Structure 1
Amino acid sequence: MVAPAQSWQHWGGDAGGTRFAPLSEITPANVDRLLRAWDYRTGDLESRTPAAAFRTKFEATPILVEDSLVFCTPFNEVVALDPGTGAQRWRFDPKVSDGRRPANRYACRGVTSWVDRTAPADAACRSRLFMGTVDARLIALDARTGRPCAGFGDGGEVRIDIAKDLLWPGEFQITSAPVVGRDVVVVGSSIADNQRLDAPKGTVRGFDARTGVLRWSFDPLIHDGIQAGHANVWAPMSVDDERGLVFLPTSSPSPDFFGGARPGDNKHADSVVALRVDSGTLAWSFQITHHDVWDYDLPAQPTLARIETGQGARDVVMQPTKQGFVFVLDRDTGQPVWPVEERAVPQGAAEGEALSPTQPFPTHVPPLLDQRFALDEIFRAVPRAIDSSCDDQLAPLRNDGLYTPPSTQGTLFFPMTGGGVNWGGAAFDPVHQILYANVSRALQIVRLIPRAQAERMTPHRGVDLGLQRGAPFAVTRSVAMSKLGLLCNRPPWGEMVAVDLKAGRILWRSTVGTTEDRAPLGLAFKWGTPLVNGVVVTAGGVVFTGAMDAYLRAFDAASGRELWQGRLPAPGVANPMTYQWKGEQYVVIAAGGHSEAGTSLGDAVVAFRLARDGEAPSLWSRTIDRPGGRFAGGALSAGFVVLVALLLAWLRWRRRRQA
């Protein structure tokens, strides 16, 4: 499953998404010599209308194909760079409109490559790239020139037939890279959540990689006796070409937070689904969440690997989840490798709802984060007498732990609908049999709003309103934050976790991110940031990740100790990748920020490598040389924290007055 040593040929490193690079030039001993090698600006923030540019998420992971580093911009422009210098070699613009208002922002996580082994070596489009677009097209390009493949569809593109009128053009889009198996290109979709009961179907489609002809389509949701749409595959997929299987992480049915019109478990939603890639027929399915009313869909690429179980080696599918679980399934059958228990979960749903009485819990691999929150764990940067806003928000909520159902009273979700683990997925070191993943730790308030009240409602700032038309309830969602702008739960708010799969134990946790790019005066409290992006692990014993502050970070894979930070022009809310070029190892990340999270935005791709002989240390890099040190955001006095919190409160008050 591992690509050649110099290459990163797939979005997840290899077709199975292990995000493992068998490169060892960069090690814990020399990572402090990393410097910025080059950066490339896409120009998106200047060339697009402000309304469009500030609705972007630059989440792309480049791949190394035909001696070029290739990625897509949030507006689906495909760019090929020289891997050593960052110089542009070619660029393709599919002319995506600025006016679509895509529900999940302008985003393109990557492109995929395929080689037609039957074509002559010098034939145009023998080596080609595939990309899904924000306006529902599948595009094929010559990987060497960037020109559209004339024999694919209509002049190099196929328009996806959605077979349903959309509420607005941006209700349907494609955000994750397609995958290719046995000459079939498989494409999922991203569809607006919580808009309506009768939402578009979450159909997955397989197209002939040479011609673009539709070979098959698969609707994950069994519609007998239910009213619902979605169960789409918005997250990245994986392929086992030898077995002829494509693995789908499916999402929840519509609408997310009320399932009264869709009784039962709603198979094959919220499931790992294995399809025969040549025909689109079902091989097996394993459901992670029964009758989902929590938006606990599968957000991450299934990771394919061979693991030691204690009873021999097995080929498996590892599926991290928003809840913080890691399910490990046999790749041929979909059966759990270690026992999974059906455990009773909270009941007492809203009127008209029928919850599943149980949910599946893995027993061998522990959860990657806590799954219950108590009010005595509220984060108090200042005394309660100064700011009791978190108590006021959280105390009235229903809070019975994981799988507490949505309610008109208001329900506390922890983990929140953004994870746990999100689309960045996990990385797996096949040598040491260790899984690495980023997790977010934040509280969310979810409240069902009776239909008549919802139609008159104007949500407050920071509150998302989903009308869920056709259901008796709309829904509001908000992240629980204090008046000071701090999350209501104690830090860390973002962590990297390492798991020994065979032993079934957490090896270490390490906080990822500081407040430096959000707090006054650049104060770097090491509290972590939410982490939707993933990691890459190398044979050299280093794990790299971005965060919602503007640094690429390196961690010791064995201990979890943070080793190094590389400054970025904007937060790197994307998966990093690494490759070897002319004998040197590079690490690359897209640095574009995250418009939904309110970070600064950018349009850069940034590469780092080790300093060559005679090169001066980089001003853009710094070593983390001691716990609690200056750049680690170490512990500060309680009085100083209070002072900073009051300053934050004053700044927020001043902004509100000015607005």
Structure 2
Amino acid sequence: MRSLFRLLAVLLLGASPALAWEHWGGDRGGMRFSPLAQITPDNVGTLVRAWDFRTGDLDVRAPEVMKRTKFETTPLVVEDSLIFCTPFNEVIALDPGTGVQKWRYDPKISTAQRPANRYVCRGVAYWVDDRAAEGSACRSRIFTGTNDVRLIALDAKTGQPCAEFGTGGEIRIDAGIKLEWPGEFQITSAPVMGRGVVVVGSSISDNRRVDAPLGTVRAYDARTGQPRWTFDPLVHEGVSAGGSNVWAPMSVDEGRGLVFLPTTSPSPDFWGGKRPGNNEHANSVVALRIATGELVWAFQTVHHDVWDYDLPAQPTLARIDTGDGMRDVVIQPTKQGFVFVLDRDTGKPVWPVEERAVPQGGAEGELLSPTQPFPTHVPPLLTQRISADDAFSLLPGFGGACKKLLADARNEGLFTPPSTQGTVVYPMTGGGVNWGSAAFDPVNQILYANTSHAVHMIKLIPREEAKGFSPPPGHDFGRQEGAPFGMSRSVAMSPLGLLCNKPPWGEMVAVDLKAGKILWHSTVGTSEDVAPLGIAFHWGTPLLSGVAITAGGLVFTGAMDAYLRAFDAKSGRELWQGRLPVPGIANPMTYLWKGDQYVAIGAGGHSEAGTSIGDSVVAFRLPRQGEGMSLWSRLIDRPGGRFAGKAAAAGLVLIALVALLCRWRRRRRVKAV
């Protein structure tokens, strides 16, 4: 009865009640909510691995190529298949119950191009042509974008290219500018569909040059591939810049005929002297007519961005109780940890957003905005200020390096401008909520999001010095050609390789939007798969990926250790861990197949995050009659991991002994001198 009630509630609230997972975000609006309730807090601890499918990339790709992959795919379940893409844009269809391959399409992208944002494919899009005859070829289609900037249409049942789309099933997209190298411009997120139109964004290399490729969003006829419209988010009058592209996932309101774009910062990220003003419509949620590309509204979340605080998350389309009745909204989380809630028809904030004064005194030639927008109703999802006194020390007396690093940099809180002195950017440019986006429970009216907590050190390097600059290990370097400064970026870390800010370093957050209240924080992830001897400190890991929520009262997520986890949606308590071959830094999803509810996740690691690399998709379900958890699973598929508490305690003692030994030896050397 409870499951039936929840399903009826979802229907009444206007959310998609699909028992499959037909879109990258679960539904067109990215709520990541499933009405399935077979798996519950009471039985989730008995989940068993149903199947593990390997793409084979580890076997056939060169190791140096695999070291440039990010396995961020979220599968769809459509046309009786589970369909996903690999980092190399192969599209694979599996039997949802067994994981056996049904078909596979390889676009044969070149691995000599070295894409700027690594080899990655977050997902594919599904569309059914209601004008086509039942059973005809390509009536149902899978659309995918590629790292070498093609848009491809495949028959969803067979994987064969749809010959009538573009040229032989594909469109080659021109960047409209001479590229420095082929990988400067790529497609990483899934296209979106609406009213017979397919829309695709692009990903562009950061901080290479002022005149970077334009961030043009492109739309095509879903049947023929004929161009329908283009939209450049950046208003170029009086501005010399590129970028402001849409690399993150988009959302569609089919009923309204709107597509919602989360746009990025103009080029380059950390100096904007050649792009005066607020740079409309960069760093904005933008609503367009999907049929024509006409601008309906835009709301900017950062003015004149010089912190790389672009919008990385899919705009979540939900119907919420505001206290004054139900309202259709767009929920946009940010890297800073803000949550903007906007009216879906007008783009105006549902609750007040204040323009507050922010630090000034930018680098030479900079033209900072004197204020930035701050939401007032929903509190930030994470802390937004750090001082030298907040530096993390594993043991008393060993935090000096981090304390000095933070003390020597310019640090006036959120929106402190980049400087030649070096500036603390906290939350970091990959912090807060990232491409995994947020999830919304339409029944209980609660928003869930993963957040990352880390510090970036940003330093501007004068042009003459930048010409011969060689970045130290662990530092990114961007030439920012055309600007008077290059830039260096690094994560603030101790000599032991630990983050300089205190744990937790990754948290799941639950928010009551109506009340404007954070219900709970829950630490996600341990150090088990990166620390010596598998020591499992419960400090959390940075969380780029997102969550999936169910009417069964569960929230599922991966982390940078090799586990899929389930949390109680009401309390945030961790209930279960399922061991993965390598970390699943991808969004989980859930579906019903032949009476069983499954939870699946891409488990291929993430080279940029420094994890081990794999090529798997793994699915779990409840045990069937006669099945049971193995002894190994009973030991590791539980909260805390492999005897985490005892291992952490033993590890801390070991580290303390090693640290004391090192200090003793250092003192002996000093005395000897």
For residue 597 of structure 1, report the CA deviation from its aligned partner: 1.3
- Counterparts in 2 of 1:447 and 1:173: CA distance versus 1, 3 Å: same
For residue 395 of structure 1, report the CA deviation from its aligned partner: 1.3
Q: Superposed, which structure 2 residues align to 1:328-367 within 5 Å?
A: 328-367=341-380
Give the aligned CA root-mean-square deviation in angstroms: 1.8
* Equivalent in 133, 137, 146 of residue 120 of structure 1: 133
The residue number in structure 1 matching 2:296 is: 283
CA distance in 2 between partners of 1:440 and 1:587 (Å): 23
- Any conservation in 2 of the 1:79–1:91 contact (CA below 8 Å)? yes
* Equivalent in 550, 566, 574 of residue 578 of structure 2: 566
CA distance in 2 between partners of 1:628 and 1:51 (Å): 31
The residue number in structure 1 matching 2:188 is: 175
Q: Superposed, which structure 2 residues align to 1:608-619 within 5 Å?
A: 608-618=620-630, 619=632
SS in 2 for 1:395: helix
For residue 3 of structure 1, report the CA deviation from its aligned partner: 3.8
The residue number in structure 2 matching 1:575 is: 587
610-619 vs 575-584, greater mean Cα deviation = 610-619
The residue number in structure 1 matching 2:472 is: 460
CA distance in 1 between partners of 2:78 and 2:163 (Å): 20
- Counterparts in 2 of 1:632 and 1:216: CA distance versus 1, 3 Å: farther
Residue 451 of structure 2 is aligned to residue 436 of structure 1: no
Cα deviation code 1:445-500 (max 9, x no counterpart): 00000000001111011000000000000000000000001001100000000000
617-626 vs 91-100, greater mean Cα deviation = 617-626
Unpaired runs of 5+ residues, structure 1, are 651-659
* Equivalent in 423, 429, 454 of residue 411 of structure 1: 423
CA distance in 2 between partners of 1:575 and 1:197 (Å): 33
- Any conservation in 1 of the 2:579–2:637 contact (CA below 8 Å)? no
The residue number in structure 2 matching 1:59 is: 72
Residue 484 of structure 2 is aligned to residue 472 of structure 1: yes
Residue 246 of structure 2 is aligned to residue 238 of structure 1: no
For residue 53 of structure 1, report the CA deviation from its aligned partner: 1.4
The residue number in structure 1 matching 2:527 is: 515
- Counterparts in 2 of 1:459 and 1:515: CA distance versus 1, 3 Å: same
One-letter amino acid matched to 1:609? R
* Equivalent in 68, 73, 81 of residue 86 of structure 2: 73
For residue 391 of structure 1, report the CA deviation from its aligned partner: 2.1
Q: Superposed, which structure 2 residues align to 1:6-45 within 5 Å?
A: 6-45=19-58
The residue number in structure 2 matching 1:422 is: 434
SS in 2 for 1:348: coil
- Counterparts in 2 of 1:622 and 1:25: CA distance versus 1, 3 Å: farther
344-353 vs 622-631, greater mean Cα deviation = 622-631
- Counterparts in 2 of 1:626 and 1:99: CA distance versus 1, 3 Å: closer
The residue number in structure 1 matching 2:500 is: 488
**Percent of aligned pairs with the same amino acid:** 69
The residue number in structure 1 matching 2:311 is: 298
- Any conservation in 2 of the 1:525–1:633 contact (CA below 8 Å)? no
One-letter amino acid matched to 1:420? G
The residue number in structure 1 matching 2:146 is: 133
The residue number in structure 2 matching 1:552 is: 564
Residue 536 of structure 2 is aligned to residue 524 of structure 1: yes
CA distance in 1 between partners of 2:140 and 2:660 (Å): 56
For residue 289 of structure 1, report the CA deviation from its aligned partner: 0.3
CA distance in 2 between partners of 1:554 and 1:224 (Å): 49
The residue number in structure 2 matching 1:93 is: 106
For residue 392 of structure 1, report the CA deviation from its aligned partner: 2.7
For residue 620 of structure 1, report the CA deviation from its aligned partner: 3.9
CA distance in 2 between partners of 1:26 and 1:481 (Å): 40
CA distance in 2 between partners of 1:109 and 1:645 (Å): 42
For residue 361 of structure 1, report the CA deviation from its aligned partner: 0.3
CA distance in 1 between partners of 2:249 and 2:639 (Å): 37
CA distance in 1 between partners of 2:609 and 2:185 (Å): 22
For residue 122 of structure 1, report the CA deviation from its aligned partner: 1.1
- Any conservation in 1 of the 2:536–2:648 contact (CA below 8 Å)? no
CA distance in 2 between partners of 1:567 and 1:644 (Å): 31
- Counterparts in 2 of 1:189 and 1:621: CA distance versus 1, 3 Å: farther
Q: Superposed, which structure 2 residues align to 1:389-400 within 5 Å?
A: 389-400=401-412
SS in 2 for 1:91: strand
Cα deviation code 1:200-227 (max 9, x no counterpart): 0000000000000110000000000010
- Any conservation in 2 of the 1:34–1:621 contact (CA below 8 Å)? no
One-letter amino acid matched to 2:602? A
Cα deviation code 1:542-583 (max 9, x no counterpart): 000000000000000000000000000000000000000001
CA distance in 1 between partners of 2:639 and 2:134 (Å): 53
Cα deviation code 1:132-171 (max 9, x no counterpart): 0000000000000000000000000001121111001100
CA distance in 1 between partners of 2:19 and 2:634 (Å): 24
The residue number in structure 2 matching 1:536 is: 548
The residue number in structure 2 matching 1:316 is: 329
One-letter amino acid matched to 1:125? C
Residue 230 of structure 2 is aligned to residue 217 of structure 1: yes
One-letter amino acid matched to 2:572? G
- Any conservation in 1 of the 2:41–2:575 contact (CA below 8 Å)? yes
For residue 54 of structure 1, report the CA deviation from its aligned partner: 1.2
- Any conservation in 2 of the 1:484–1:645 contact (CA below 8 Å)? no
390-399 vs 329-338, greater mean Cα deviation = 390-399
Residue 169 of structure 2 is aligned to residue 156 of structure 1: yes
Cα deviation code 1:341-378 (max 9, x no counterpart): 00000001001001000000000000000000021111
CA distance in 1 between partners of 2:350 and 2:244 (Å): 25
CA distance in 1 between partners of 2:537 and 2:507 (Å): 14
For residue 615 of structure 1, report the CA deviation from its aligned partner: 0.6
* Equivalent in 160, 181, 200 of residue 213 of structure 2: 200
For residue 49 of structure 1, report the CA deviation from its aligned partner: 2.0
301-310 vs 625-634, greater mean Cα deviation = 625-634
For residue 648 of structure 1, report the CA deviation from its aligned partner: 13
One-letter amino acid matched to 1:614? G
One-letter amino acid matched to 2:152? I
One-letter amino acid matched to 2:507? E
Q: How many equivalent pairs are there?
A: 650
SS in 2 for 1:636: helix
The residue number in structure 1 matching 2:387 is: 374
- Any conservation in 2 of the 1:19–1:428 contact (CA below 8 Å)? yes
- Counterparts in 2 of 1:227 and 1:588: CA distance versus 1, 3 Å: same
The residue number in structure 1 matching 2:8 is: none
For residue 625 of structure 1, report the CA deviation from its aligned partner: 7.0
For residue 44 of structure 1, report the CA deviation from its aligned partner: 1.0
- Any conservation in 2 of the 1:446–1:476 contact (CA below 8 Å)? yes
- Any conservation in 2 of the 1:563–1:623 contact (CA below 8 Å)? no
One-letter amino acid matched to 1:484? L
TM-score by length of 2: 0.94
Q: Superposed, which structure 2 residues align to 1:239-254 within 5 Å?
A: 239-254=252-267
- Counterparts in 2 of 1:595 and 1:555: CA distance versus 1, 3 Å: same
